[in-house]
Amino acid sequence: MKKIFKLALAFLFLAAATTWQLQKENLAEIYFLDIGQGDAILLRVNGQNILVDGGPDNLLLYRLGEVLPWWDKKIDYLIISHFHDDHYMGFIELLNRYQVKNILVGAHRPEEEFLFSVWQQAVGQHQLEPKVVHAGDQFYLAPNIFWQILAADSQHEDFNDNSLLIKFTIGEIKLLLTGDLTSDKEKDLLKAKVDLSADILKVAHHGSKYSSALDFLQAVSPQLCVIQSETDNSFGHPHQETLERLEAIGCQILRNDSLGNIKVESDGLFWQLD
């Protein structure tokens, strides 16, 4: 009788574990990683890992180790918003530690920069070929799970305005990633009547006052705004002017410098903080 009870208990435990795992697989996980003064956003959705930007150094590897299972060493899509070191230098060592399947970049190339040459060498050593994306490109993981490149300029002297603007769609939930776009580029997007609306916004340029103009924020109309910056950074990010504009649109403001890693979950209908 005890043996039957133990078998029944084991079966119930296995069933519960399986159900929990199925529920987790149906959730999208969005991590805004605390990598100092830089950007790094990991999305785990539909069985794939998508990493947008990688921060300035190897702290990225430590943060990934905090949020990914120890056995998961796969990055299905590695995306670089633009070639400033605080957005991609963490990827150089990542290429040695993780299996990277696809790399997506904008057309801008800072050919004369030493750090960019180091990146090119690392990519070549791993026999990877980055794909240049353009405004309008879409990438589907499922019929209702995809992302679209809304902007992908390459001609600006200010590298920040060459940032990819990416909107992720997960069912009914929209996530807008802005790189380091400035208010000048924001004006162009508004004039072009680009659909900027999103539930979750990664605030541009670490909360700089030269980004996130009020009319741009109103067009996005986010519920949640996340700022990626380092405590006591030399730039003073996030600037008070930006915080006041974010407060004016009524979004919830979360910051890596005060909270560490930030995790958002979504079932495609709603989002919640974990």
CA–CA separation, 87 and 132 (whole Å) = 17
pLDDT for the residue numbered 26: 66
CA–CA separation, 100 and 77 (whole Å) = 7
Q: Distance of CA 266 to CAs 54, 176, 203, Å?
A: 23, 15, 19
Catalogue all structural domains in the chain, each as residue range(s) with its CATH number.
99-264 (3.60.15.10)
pLDDT digits (tens, 9 = 90+) for 70-103: 999 999 999 999 999 999 999 999 999 999 999 9
16 strand-pairing partners: none
Rounded to two decimals, the pTM is: 0.89
Q: Which helix (H) or strand (E) holds 74?
A: strand 74-79
Q: Which helix (H) or strand (E) holds 167?
A: strand 165-170
Q: Which residue has the tokens 């300035």?
A: 56
pLDDT digits (tens, 9 = 90+) for 237-271: 999 999 999 999 999 999 999 999 999 999 999 99
Structure tokens at 254: 């979360």
Assign 261 to helix, strand or coil: coil
Say if residue 130 is preceded by a cis peptide, omega within 30 of 0.
Answer: no
pLDDT for the residue numbered 137: 98
Tell me the Cα Rg of the chain: 20
Mean pLDDT across the stretch 168-178? 98
103 strand-pairing partners: 78
